[in-house]
Amino acid sequence: MSGYLPVDQRRFNRNDDSFMSDWIVVANVTDLTPGDFTVIPADDTDIAVFNIDGSFFAIEDVCTHDGGQLTGGGREGCQLICPRHGARFDIRTGEALTAPAYEPTATFPVKVEGGIVYTRDDRWD
């Protein structure tokens, strides 16, 4: 798996009408190159954002089998491999592909505007 990129995570002011209230800055497009990923906090959730061949995908950084972090494992194509028990998840859909995980991990919307990648936790909209 390519390198993890730490980024300065900034949340826009919820009263600022120039942006959707809960979109979170992930990174500049040029800083999150194909094969790279970063993890950002969103309230009580860690969101892993991946650049796969120029397309951006965001999933919750948690294995649904044991609640541990997913991004500490490997990646093969669009599959993320849990570092503890080898469960595989589709980065594009969150689908659990192999045991011991049977439930999908959450996915999140991603948008690119003005050269900036954004995501948000939309589960409670």
Residue 14, pLDDT > 80, answer no
Using left for φ > 0, alpha for ψ between -120 and 50, and beta otherwise, residue 54 falls in left
User: How far is CA 35 from its chain centroid?
Assistant: 13
Topology annotation, domain 10-119 = Rieske Iron-sulfur Protein (2.102.10)
Residue-wise DSSP of 44-86: TEEEEEEEETTEEEEEES--TTTS--STTS-EETTEEE-TTT-
Q: What does pTM read for this prediction?
A: 0.83
**Of the given ranges (9-18, 45-54, 98-107), which has the lowest mean pLDDT?**
9-18
Share of the chain above pLDDT 70, in %: 83
